[in-house]
Amino acid sequence: MNIEHFSTTCEDGVSLQGELFIPERPRAVVQFSCGTATPTKVYRHFLSHIAQAGFICALWDYRGGEIYQENLSQCQYQYADYGRQDMPAVKQYLRQRFPELPLVLLGHSAGGQQFGFMPDYSGVVGAISIGASSGYTGNMPLSYRLKAYWYFYAFMPASIAWRGYVATKSLGIMEDLPTGVATQWRDWCSKPDYFFDPQFRGQTLPADLFCDIHFPIQVYYASDDTIATPQNIDNFWRHVHSSAGVEIQQLDAKELKVKRIDHFGYFSRALKSQFWPQIIADINRFLD
């Protein structure tokens, strides 16, 4: 398997970078989109495993990510740019680079939400969303909800006032975020229906989110996920329709013989033999 660097440019001129995991005799291309402020290294072993099953995997970072070394206090980016600008640019690059291969969209958290912002699904044969749901803080467990409130309403405004951006990396939990990205994320998380809420949909966001989808969508979430709780899963995916169907499956840590999964454990090597083969099976199913 070869690993290649790639770069592409969004419609608004922002440049993106990433890696391609290229196996011998690939049968499809997998466009992977990360969770919010999540370092790409979290997903490298997982995608390397998927690539070895015969699929080219693209791992890249959103605008404002650490690899770009931008002055975040000067960035005017919005959270919705991930799906409206970044994902379409990567998709266009992959379609031009590998025009003969079908494309599968695979995403974690925000990466499994915002593909619905993309204006063009040509070549896409299926989508897999992992831990992707509404981010409504009111549906999170109390202990995590309090942490989210502190982050959104105490740490975030203080960091913006002091540094001009959200210095999340200083907490040791995520990458730093531009102000516009973080505040739009916070606003969405204040509503049970997230970005489908009328305050956003048809106002600051297009009204035709997840429009004209004709490929199957497979959704996975863990029973102990502190963000993608059953209520948040329902509040998000009840708005999404596909002529080929939307299937939702809950994963149980005990059944998979691990202590916990939560929001990031899907990509732990502990699930390499229990969960990752299902992702490969889904991709193969899309290709049938």
CA distance 198 to 247: 25
pLDDT tops 90 at residue 147:
yes
At residue 222 the predicted structure's pLDDT band, cuts being 50, 70 and 90, is very high
Could you tell me the two tokens for 259?
Answer: 């202590």
pLDDT tops 90 at residue 70:
no
The answer to whether 248 and 130 have CB atoms below 8 angstroms apart is no
The answer to whether 90 and 10 have CB atoms below 8 angstroms apart is no
Percentage of the chain modeled with pLDDT above 90: 95
SS3 annotation, 51-86: HHCCEEEEEECCCCCHHHCCCHHHCCCCCCHHHHHH
Q: Give pLDDT, residue 103.
A: 98
Q: Give pLDDT, residue 66.
A: 81
What 8-state DSSP symbol labels residue 240?
-
Question: Span 233-239, mean pLDDT?
Answer: 98
Mean pLDDT over each residue of the chain, to the nearest integer:
97
Residues 160/165/166/169 CA torsion (nearest 10 deg):
-140
Q: Is the pTM of this model over 0.95?
A: yes
Could you tell me the two tokens for 42?
Answer: 């979290």
CA distance 201 to 178: 22
pLDDT in tens, 16-62: 999 999 999 999 999 999 999 999 999 999 999 999 999 999 999 99
Place of tokens 């001129």: 13
The answer to whether 220 and 130 have CB atoms below 8 angstroms apart is yes
| Cα 218 off chain centre by | 14
Question: Span 106-110, mean pLDDT?
Answer: 98
Question: Span 99-106, mean pLDDT?
Answer: 98
pLDDT tops 90 at residue 68:
no
pLDDT in tens, 263-276: 999 999 999 999 99
